[in-house]
Amino acid sequence: QKEVEQDPGPLSVPEGAIVSLNCTYSNSAFQYFMWYRQYSRKGPELLMYTYSSGNKEDGRFTAQVDKSSKYISLFIRDSQPSDSATYLCAMSAGNTGNQFYFGTGTSLTVIP
Amino acid sequence: SQTIHQWPATLVQPVGSPLSLECTVEGTSNPNLYWYRQAAGRGLQLLFYSVGIGQISSEVPQNLSASRPQDRQFILSSKKLLLSDSGFYLCAWSRDRRTDTQYFGPGTRLTVL
């Protein structure tokens, strides 16, 4: 079983829709959770960073962590064509290990 | 603010040729540095990380090597490229390799022919 599972999509939505992107994980020790946005042929850029469970909101983006279900989500409200990208989740246990574990990414297209 | 640079942006090399990719970070000191390879549909594969000058840890056995000659410089090398080395190479940095998030450079797209 992979440490992090992420549906690769592709996901296609009309402009203005609410988008839900999700990752599941198997390691209950994960405490730090991140979402990255990656445009084609570019490096990933950090969108959201959360610690432990709960919600975090930043503009049109909301990150949600449910540690009891080992499930994290990224919601995008009022989606825009500029949101079209691949979204990667990442997580870390924050212990002596070095590893950040990344999902394989979900490809999102927002249609004008 | 911190900035991370990678060059070249794209590279086409013949099989068996050497490789040198460079990454530099500005605006911070003693960063943790990482090299990743990203293949389509396979996510990010950690190749090397470094917590300080001359300190390199390898995550995946392969014909690649890494060096950190200066605090904010990280180099990925190969003596002889293989076809399977083609991919998108990303350098990243973080303040704390356990708890802090990683910030990525723009990447180098390598094609080995």
A61 and chain B: CB distance < 8 Å anywhere?
no
pLDDT (tens digit per residue) in A33-63: 999 999 998 999 999 999 888 899 999 999 9
Q: Considering only CB atoms, which chain A residues are within 8 Å of B109?
A: 41
| Across A60-89, average pLDDT | 96
Q: B97 falls in which pLDDT band (50, 70, 90)?
A: low
A contact test, residue of B55, B88, B97, B101 with most A CBs within 10 A: B101
Pick the more confident residue, B62 or A70: A70
The CA-atom distances, in angstroms, between B98 and each of A26, A49, A98, B24 are: 18, 14, 6, 21
* % pLDDT > 70, chain B: 96
pLDDT (tens digit per residue) in B12-25: 999 999 999 999 99
Cβ of B107 within 8 Å of Cβ of A100? The answer is no
pLDDT higher than 90, residue B99: no
Q: Considering only CB atoms, which chain A residues are within 8 Å of B106?
A: 42-43
pLDDT at B61: 65
- Beta-strand runs (E) in chain B: 3-7, 10-13, 19-26, 32-39, 43-52, 55-58, 64-70, 73-78, 87-94, 103-104, 108-112
Give the number of C-alpha atoms closer than 13 A to the C-alpha of residue B45, restricted to the C-beta side: 16
A88 and chain B: CB distance < 8 Å anywhere?
yes
pLDDT at A107: 95
pLDDT at B101: 84
| Maximum average pLDDT range among B8-22, B38-52, B54-68 | B8-22
Nearest of B62, B70, B28 to residue B46 by alpha carbon:
B62
pLDDT higher than 60, residue A96: no
Residue with tokens 């942006």: B9
Pick the more confident residue, B54 or B100: B54
Q: Which of A71-75, B33-37, B63-67, B94-98 has the lowest mean pLDDT?
A: B94-98
Pick the more confident residue, B20 or A101: B20
Size of chain A in residues: 112
A83 phi, psi to nearest 5 deg: -80, -10
| Across A21-44, average pLDDT | 94
